[in-house]
Structure 1
Amino acid sequence: MLKGSVFKRFHHFARLDLRIGHVNNVIRHPSSSKLYVLQVQTSNLEPLVNKQICSGLQEHIPIENLQNQFVVVLENIKKCKLRGEVSEAMLLCGVQQSSTDVNNNNTNSSVTSKVVLCKPLKTNPDLIGQRILLKSGITCSPPLSKLENKELVKRLKSKEWDDISSRLKVSSNGDVVYIQSEKEIQEANSNNIEDSLVVWSNELNEYIPIKVQGLPEGSSVC
């Protein structure tokens, strides 16, 4: 049974309904030069249904680099409309920020310099729809049914997402990791612990890490 700080981290992370998806189709948004409209499969259950996702990646990722890709999808966010198109979920990406001087004065502003999709290291059809888990050493977060509160996965509020996403980072080897808050580090009187995001493959019989390729350590994931 999970106890202490490990359970707290798993319990906190379990508020995210992150799943592996597959991009079956992507087009440029008809009314926006920044948005793509993607059809993403997030389940292998029949009948197969795509979720529509509007994502502001036109300036960062070529359309051909999105088609037929395995991606990480945040499902439990509020459905919305972006320039008239429904968006039902969100793609998880690594983001490198850089500081620039605005209008030649001393006010620094953070701007996005590079955006990269979060992807499983290995791809296999059985991954589609599988939930992303948290792995700490040899311990992996249990399925939702094993957690004490089965109502954890509900629609995220924006403040909840801001809190959780602030702890998602890129590690030195490109893994997507979930870090402790400063309060947790102080309470435990220890160094920061990085838990890796993984997905289980029944066919491959292994945990597959979620990766972000080509971004420096400490880059944000959102």
Structure 2
Amino acid sequence: MSRQITAWRQEYLTGGKTRIESSYTLRPEPSVLWFHRQLRQQGLRLGKLLDLGCGRGRNSLVFLKHGWRVEGLDAAGEALRDFKHLAGPLSAGLGLQQRDFKQPLPFPDRHFDAVMEITAADNIADLRKREKFWREICRVLKPGAYFFSYHFTPKDGYYGPLLKKSPDNSRGLLFDPRGHMTFRFYDVEEIIRAMRGQCTLCARQSYRYPGPMFGSIYQRDLIAALFKKTGDPHAA
């Protein structure tokens, strides 16, 4: 088991309101509500959603409550147990797997109507593995399906200063000494390059808001990006 996964498992076991907000809050990210609205505007009201790095489910519960079928992947079994409990009777529409999503996704081609990853891919520090991760997302999307990515920018009030101090700053790598985790920044352009014309950027939205980390408030800075699968090399 990698040190990153061990750190996240420990975070979910001991996390409280003095640690990483996503490990304890039940509020969905505002960007997820935007994503859900975007899908409805495109006429996609029901379907199958894959949530990569789902954690305790605070974001994909939005879709479960609207009748979607959700598959959630996370490396922390502690978080998945909480997710199933929180879903309650909605868990009939929920599938969960404890899995390191740096490995190939355990789903067939063209399987999902939507995929979302919310500050998950920055846990993949190896660029070759991350490129494969983006391609795997393309593979499991149906033609015409949507992919939603939400990631921190170098302007983030918590991670930005850590990046500036990092000896690997030029490569976007940083180590968070309080969380004992390593992250690698990414951007929309990296995703576009990796998807090689199979997915087209439909919309992007900036999010800036004050948020807690380890007992203090920081100005968070993130980008939401929505892609549509428009090319499919496997289609006949």
TM-score range, shorter chain: under 0.3
More helix by share: 2
TM-score scaled by structure 2?
A: 0.25
TM-score scaled by structure 1?
A: 0.26
More strand by share: 1
Report which of the two structures shows the higher radius of gyration computed on alpha carbons.
1
